Amino acid sequence: MCGIVGYIGFRDAYPVLIKGLHRLEYRGYDSAGCALVSRTSELNVYKAKGKVSDLERATQGKDITGSLGIAHTRWATHGAPSEVNAHPHISKSGNITLVHNGIIENYATLRVQLEKRGFVFKSQTDTEVLVQLIEFQKELRHCDLAEAVRRSLHLVIGAYAIAVIDKENPTQLVAARKASPLAIGIGEDYKEFFLASDASPIAEYTNQIVYLNDDEVAVVERGKNLHVMNLYGEDKEAEVKEVDVDLSMLDKGGFPHFMLKEIFDQPNVLRDCMRGRIINNVYSSESGQAHEPTLDVVLSAVKDHRRELLRARRIVIVSCGTSWHAGLIGKQLIEHFCQIPTEVAYASEFRYADPVVEQDDVVIAISQSGETADTLAAIQLAKEKGAFVYGIVNAVGSSIARNTDTGTYIHVGPEIGVASTKAFTGQVTVLTLFALALGMYKGTVDQQEYQDVLEELTNIPNKIQEVLKQNDKIQELSKKYTNSSNFLYLGRGFNYPVALEGALKLKEISYIHAEGYPAAEMKHGPIALIDKDMPVVFLTNHHRRYQKVISNLQEVISRHGQILAIIHEGDDQVKQMVETYIEVPQTLSCLAPLISVIPLQLLSYHIAVARGLNVDQPRNLAKSVTVE
């Protein structure tokens, strides 16, 4: 994980770096640091344990001048969070300094070899090995920094996005990437360059961005062009993309936390997600005559690749975390609308499971960040085995978006809160559109159901808005659970993955142990946990086998579980059975997750706030998991 930023140009680097680190803090926040080559050509390195704000405090009154610098916000892998383990790391001579996102897997071997040559290590990190190795190569080969970096990377096994500066050559910044993301922003007339783990720190300065590919080294010289080469020193073309990031999405917009803002963003961003993808057809394609308007899905990736997709005898969805929960819903949608057997795998398991993947298989990779290392590796494996890979991604231009054969962006805007909210509903929306579009081509969707689902999908943003109006009520209700230490979430069918997601949200931000379970499976174990002190969130809404769900609810009531039911409007039966419930608008069973997840997001948010926890930056977590 970790976030890196770099700047070289004509303005003061420090404010650019600090602002960039704040934008990347979602990637890790246990320590931070920066290195600046000052106006007097000194190399000043500052570090602090804790957040970027702690680094700002640490630099007060210090020399923060200079228009060349690199910075880092850390999510510890090797070595506990501490000032000494924080980046940037400095070489033996004190000339070269480096920031790194990723893991150097063979660092222990390299470290022993370097120690034998007199290098002394201060930290426990894998990164310090790399900066020393670069210095060693530079001395050994009497070469410049770029060449030393290139040579060193030949010796390294692992994943990295790095930015390196050399005090002896303050007109140059060298960067490289393998399996960890790195974007380079090009300022006007090449007078300045911005480096970062994603486009968010760059967006306010330029929309001209180059995403480095694996095994590429970039040399950025003040006032000169950007030079990209591979690890063998051969020139590579730097493909400049125009990337527009909505800057208003990068701040809290008056909400106390990003998570709450992103929960409230959902009606609008889901409208964006569907925009242009659900169209009103008033003309018959055959006769050209106007007819009663009908709705249609337009997903260009499905249309353009329907041959590969229709060939699929099986679909495998690979993803992690919340995206995996969306995948479980996707499976049900695809099997229902397309009649294609679908499996859902944790990317981290899939990649090492020696999975049977055949040429006609389609693999769908779901990822908010588009950078999750395990999902990327699963894609690679699927491609090697000949599968056609479809991406469902939020971050435009991200590694997963670029490494899949085709795909659909969810277009919900940057998600900053570590606990995923709007990305989940965006993923489920796109999966619904995907299943409907493919089902239509395959001829497995009932025409009336197709129309009904599409029409209802367009109503979902308003219905979510209705749920959001209950925010105060949910806040009040959440007080009851501030001191709970366990939770059960139960649901069936389309609501089972929502139960898992509700439990995950609670664990992530309130540190309360929670389990999601299929409601009927509960009697095979978890029912033993139920007593008057066990809160049970029960999703009873919109199930096709409603009476079966009610029987499961009855089983919990009989054991005096503390029930909070999520019910659909007008469900008098459950209202008479339980004291505590949240009513959500009616919808179709297959769209229920888009509605029922909203009160669960709000519930976990308010419980975490009441417990005084840092909702946007929960302990030990990171938003973008670029290590395996």
Pick between residue 413 and residue 439 the one whose CB is nearest to ligand G6P. 413
Pick between residue 375 and residue 425 the one whose CB is nearest to ligand G6P. 375
625 lines the binding site for ligand G6P (CB under 6 A): yes
C-alpha separations of 26 from 4, 74, 178, 364 in Å: 12, 10, 21, 26
Pick between residue 368 and residue 510 the one whose CB is nearest to ligand G6P. 368
Secondary structure (3-state) at 539 = strand
Paired tokens of 26:
């979602």
Q: Strand 406-409 vs strand 388-393: parallel, antiparallel, or unpaired?
A: parallel
Task: Write down the least CB distance from residue 465 to ligand G6P, Å.
Answer: 24
* Tokens 């300065």 found at: 205
181 lines the binding site for ligand G6P (CB under 6 A): no
C-alpha separations of 211 from 110, 180, 196, 216, 217 in Å: 29, 11, 10, 10, 11
375 lines the binding site for ligand G6P (CB under 6 A): yes
* Residue closest to ligand G6P when measured from CB atoms: 321
Rounded Cα distance, 106 and 325, in Å: 34
398 lines the binding site for ligand G6P (CB under 6 A): no
Using alpha carbons, select from 223, 189, 191, 187 the residue that is nearest to residue 205: 187
Task: Write down the least CB distance from residue 291 to ligand G6P, Å.
Answer: 41
507 lines the binding site for ligand G6P (CB under 6 A): no
2 is catalytic: yes
Rounded Cα distance, 125 and 109, in Å: 13
Q: 60 Cβ partners below 8 Å, 6+ apart?
A: none
Vertex 175: Cα angle to 169 and 180 (nearest 5): 160
Q: Strand 193-196 vs strand 235-236: parallel, antiparallel, or unpaired?
A: unpaired
C-alpha separations of 613 from 71, 553, 609, 617 in Å: 27, 32, 6, 9
Q: Which of 5, 229, 418, 549 binds ligand G6P (CB under 6 A)?
A: 418
Secondary structure (3-state) at 403 = helix
Pick between residue 318 and residue 490 the one whose CB is nearest to ligand G6P. 318
Per-position DSSP letters for 318-377, written without gaps between them: EE-HHHHHHHHHHHHHHHHHH---EEEEEHHHHTTS-----TT-EEEEEESSS--HHHHH
Q: Which of 5, 530, 615, 621 binds ligand G6P (CB under 6 A)?
A: 621
* Tokens 């979430």 found at: 489
Task: Write down the least CB distance from residue 215 to ligand G6P, Å.
Answer: 22
623 lines the binding site for ligand G6P (CB under 6 A): yes
Secondary structure (3-state) at 164 = strand
**Catalytic residue selected from 2, 34, 273, 338:** 2
Task: Write down the least CB distance from residue 557 to ligand G6P, Å.
Answer: 33
399 lines the binding site for ligand G6P (CB under 6 A): no
Paired tokens of 40:
């007097």
Q: 115 Cβ partners below 8 Å, 6+ apart?
A: 121
Cβ count within 10 A of residue 440: 18
Pick between residue 193 and residue 390 the one whose CB is nearest to ligand G6P. 390
321 lines the binding site for ligand G6P (CB under 6 A): yes
Task: Write down the least CB distance from residue 615 to ligand G6P, Å.
Answer: 13
Q: Which of 322, 425, 478, 617 binds ligand G6P (CB under 6 A)?
A: 322
Number of residues that bind ligand G6P (CB under 6 A): 15
Pick between residue 368 and residue 562 the one whose CB is nearest to ligand G6P. 368
Pick between residue 132 and residue 372 the one whose CB is nearest to ligand G6P. 372
Residues 281-320 contacting ligand G6P, CB under 6 A: 320
Q: Which of 67, 368, 425, 429 binds ligand G6P (CB under 6 A)?
A: 368
Stretch of residues binding ligand G6P (CB under 6 A), selected from 273-281, 292-300, 369-377, 433-441 = 369-377
Rounded Cα distance, 507 and 474, in Å: 18
369 lines the binding site for ligand G6P (CB under 6 A): yes
Task: Write down the least CB distance from residue 392 to ligand G6P, Å.
Answer: 10
Task: Write down the least CB distance from residue 177 to ligand G6P, Å.
Answer: 18
Pick between residue 218 and residue 594 the one whose CB is nearest to ligand G6P. 594
Residues annotated as part of the active site: 2, 623
Q: In the complex, which residues of this chain contact ligand G6P (CB under 6 A)?
A: 320-323, 367-369, 372, 375, 418, 420, 621, 623-625
